[in-house]
Amino acid sequence: MPENDPPSSRNPTRQRRPLGNTPVGVITHAAGPVVEAHGLTGALLYHVAWVGRERLIGEIIRLSGEIATIQVYEDTSGVRVGDPVWDTGAPLWVELGPGLLGSIYDGVQRPLPALAEMDPAGVPRAPYVARGVSLPGLDRERKWRFEAALAPGDHVEPGSVLGTVAEGQFFVHRIMVPPTYPAGTLADLTSGEYNIRQVIGHLQPAGGGRLPLRLGQRWPVRQGRPFRHRLDPAVPLVTGQRIIDMLFPIARGGAAIIPGGFGTGKTVTEQALAKWADADVVVYIGCGERGNEMTEVLTEFPQLEDPKHGGPLMERTVLIANTSNMPVAAREASVYTGLTIAEYFRDQGCHVALMADSTSRWGEALREVSGRLEEMPGEEGYPAYLASRLAGFYERAGTVEVLGGQDRSGSVTLIGAVSPPGGDFSEPMTQSSLRLAGTFWALNVNLARRRHFPSIDWITSFTHYQLDGWFAANVDSSWPQLRAQAQKLLQEEHELEEIVQLVGSDALSERERALLVVGRLLREAFLQQSAFGGDAFCPPAKQHAMLHTLLHYHAALEAFVRAGQSLEISLQDSEDMRRRLGRLRELPDETLDADISAINADIDRWKPS
């Protein structure tokens, strides 16, 4: 929303923007969400504009002489040539402060639950967002208890923590000096009950003057928030998903993509990561997804229990919903809105997981708007600047030392789903994202058809993050060795499966058939994992114990083969043991060590000396 909102749009009662201001331009051309206006003298690129008599929200995306091209974030039906256009003089920004957590917004940070309650006239209405309706992103009337951490006379700088606000049952919101303020001293700062716009104190810069301090602040969405410097991504984002943490981990502050065709489980995987990932705050962006999928997210998330604290998961979650039937141009705004909110919590010293589902819909919006702008198309009609836009998005991920001089670090981990048409990973969105992401979780349609979930293909997926050292130091020193063994076994099994399809299993040696047996056991008992129930989250210690036991059985089976015993006899002798190995995921955490030790002891007694 623009900095100079008209008085009525600052008012929490939902009203249309008034038409009393003098227009500074008129519409000369309109094509879907793209509008051209003449007469916006002094307008700058990416300024927010109000378009038409209903003052629809738009953003100036091109200037050519006296013609300004505006990308409108609302339905432009009924907009006519000659209608007025206003330049707000400010870029698209979001409100940041207490009240973000637990909120559900559209792509330009309008609170959807409040917008759905009534129409601009104040009467109950159908659950559709009316055009030209404005509402602040944060409640201007709600009071928050602010506890000052500094006193008058203390030196502060951009990012310094002034105090805290308790938000929900478990989250402590740090109130910071805005990044745009200079360093100086506190003239005054008082604890008490404030809303986000009331002044809690004043900063006195070295050059004189007084700057007001508030609980809330604003930031333009297209501009990354500043930080002191980047840190190496050396700590994993633990997700509780075995195939991810063990084989293809992602670092805190890293970037990952999840490409997959229809029905491969992208949304379910991202929802599982949102619930179980080791993050302080989760920002979930539904960018151009089908309405029924977003409905599931919006209805299920408020009911989910936070595994960290036992309270509602929504208390540390921000949802941004931009469904496929919403204006296509707002998809681009939604990803930047979510990213800016994530960076704000990063600057408080939090570890944030941002889920974008799906970036392909964002790319489709760029392609549609680019076509209406009559720009030269690139590959498959996407604009030539697709790769640079994606780079600007993914490069805002990272682990950083934040501003404030208080030795705080935070991170934003970006996980973007990609929906390639027909599951074709060679299409531009997947390939452009692949060059930027450090982790690639490729979803396989054949695995999904066999009901193997998560359907992450262990052959084509990869990670560039070197995190074995952390797992060796914090879980078990044998973690890197087990990971390498598992990857080698799965690769060999894949190659043998191709041979079996050509010439049959009779052409394989006893050792190779034993490897196929263990490979199948590894896939079904370890890599498969339900997103629901007790197996939805598997801690790293249990992952290590499970894999160690499965590979221990493999070593015992190979020992029998080397000793000359028939594979069929060995498999018959260990049938009950394999059933127990197939149920490793069901072992309760309370008795895990004892149960695993008992199984390994049985394997040792069975293994030939």
pLDDT in tens, 269-293: 988 898 899 999 999 998 887 777 7
Specify the pLDDT at position 114.
Answer: 82
- Check residue 499 and give left, alpha or beta (phi > 0: left; psi -120 to 50: alpha): alpha
370, pLDDT greater than 50: yes
Q: Which helix (H) or strand (E) holds 357?
A: strand 351-357
Specify the pLDDT at position 6.
Answer: 37
Q: Express each pLDDT in 8-54 by its tens digit.
A: 333 333 334 444 455 689 999 999 899 999 999 889 999 999 999 98
Q: How confident is the model at residue 310 (pLDDT cuts 50, 70, 90)?
A: confident
Q: Residues of the chain with pLDDT > 90: what percent?
A: 73
Q: Residues of the chain with pLDDT > 70: what percent?
A: 94
Which residues, in sequence order, are bridge partners of residue 285? 320, 356
Under CATH, what is the fold of the domain 144-214?
OB fold (Dihydrolipoamide Acetyltransferase, E2P) (2.40.50)
Specify the pLDDT at position 124.
Answer: 45
Give mean pLDDT, residues 395-406: 92
Six token digits for residue 8: 């009525």
Name 20's Cβ contacts closer than 8 Å, sequence gap at least 6. none
Q: Express each pLDDT in 319-363 by its tens digit.
A: 998 888 778 888 889 999 999 999 999 999 999 999 998 899 999
Residue 546: other Cβ atoms inside 10 A: 23
Specify the pLDDT at position 22.
Answer: 54
Give mean pLDDT, residues 534-540: 92
Cα separation, 213 vs 198, in Å, equals: 8
DSSP track, 321-357:
EE-TTS-TTHHHHHHHHHHHHHHHHHHTT-EEEEEEE
Residue pair 339/416 in contact (Cβ under 8 Å)? The answer is no
Q: Express each pLDDT in 311-329 by its tens digit.
A: 788 889 999 988 887 788 8
Q: In sequence order, which ranges of 67-152 are alpha helices (DSSP H)? A: 112-117
Q: Express each pLDDT in 487-533 by its tens digit.
A: 999 999 999 999 998 888 888 999 999 999 999 999 999 999 998 88
Q: How confident is the model at residue 212 (pLDDT cuts 50, 70, 90)?
A: very high
Averaged pLDDT score across all residues of the chain: 90
How does DSSP classify residue 305? B
pTM, 2 dp: 0.92
**DSSP-based helix, strand, coil % in the chain, nearest 5:** 35, 25, 40
Specify the pLDDT at position 119.
Answer: 55
The residue with greater pLDDT, 506 or 98, is: 98
Specify the pLDDT at position 17.
Answer: 47
Angstrom CA distances, 253 to 307, 347, 498, 518, stand at 22, 13, 38, 35
Q: Express each pLDDT in 17-29 by its tens digit.
A: 444 455 689 999 9
Residue pair 177/158 in contact (Cβ under 8 Å)? The answer is yes
Q: In sequence order, which ranges of 414-509 are alpha helices (DSSP H)? A: 428-434, 445-449, 468-474, 479-503
Cα separation, 55 vs 45, in Å, equals: 19
Q: Tell me, what amino acid is at 328?
A: V
Which among 50, 92, 95 is positioned nearest to 68, based on CA atoms?
Answer: 50
Looking at the chain, which residues constitute the CATH 3.40.50.300 domain(s)?
229-465
Cα separation, 401 vs 228, in Å, equals: 5
Q: Express each pLDDT in 410-442 by its tens digit.
A: 999 999 999 998 889 999 999 999 999 999 999
Residue 19: other Cβ atoms inside 10 A: 13
Is the dihedral angle over the CA atoms 479, 480, 485, 486 positive or is it negative? positive
Q: Express each pLDDT in 556-588 by its tens digit.
A: 999 999 999 999 999 999 999 999 999 999 999
Looking at the chain, which residues constitute the CATH 1.10.1140.10 domain(s)?
479-606
Cα separation, 248 vs 368, in Å, equals: 34
Which among 528, 512, 455 is positioned nearest to 259, based on CA atoms?
Answer: 455
Considering the domain delimited by 1-91, tell me its CATH architecture.
Beta Barrel (2.40)
Cα separation, 320 vs 285, in Å, equals: 5
Six token digits for residue 42: 């002094």
Cα separation, 467 vs 436, in Å, equals: 19
Looking at the chain, which residues constitute the CATH 2.40.30.20 domain(s)?
1-91
Looking at the chain, which residues constitute the CATH 2.40.50.100 domain(s)?
144-214
Cα separation, 80 vs 232, in Å, equals: 53
Q: Which one of 3.40.50.300, 3.10.20.600, 3.90.700.10, 1.10.1140.10 gives the CATH number of domain 479-606?
A: 1.10.1140.10
Specify the pLDDT at position 137.
Answer: 92
CATH for 229-465?
3.40.50.300
Specify the pLDDT at position 135.
Answer: 86
Six token digits for residue 423: 């599951």
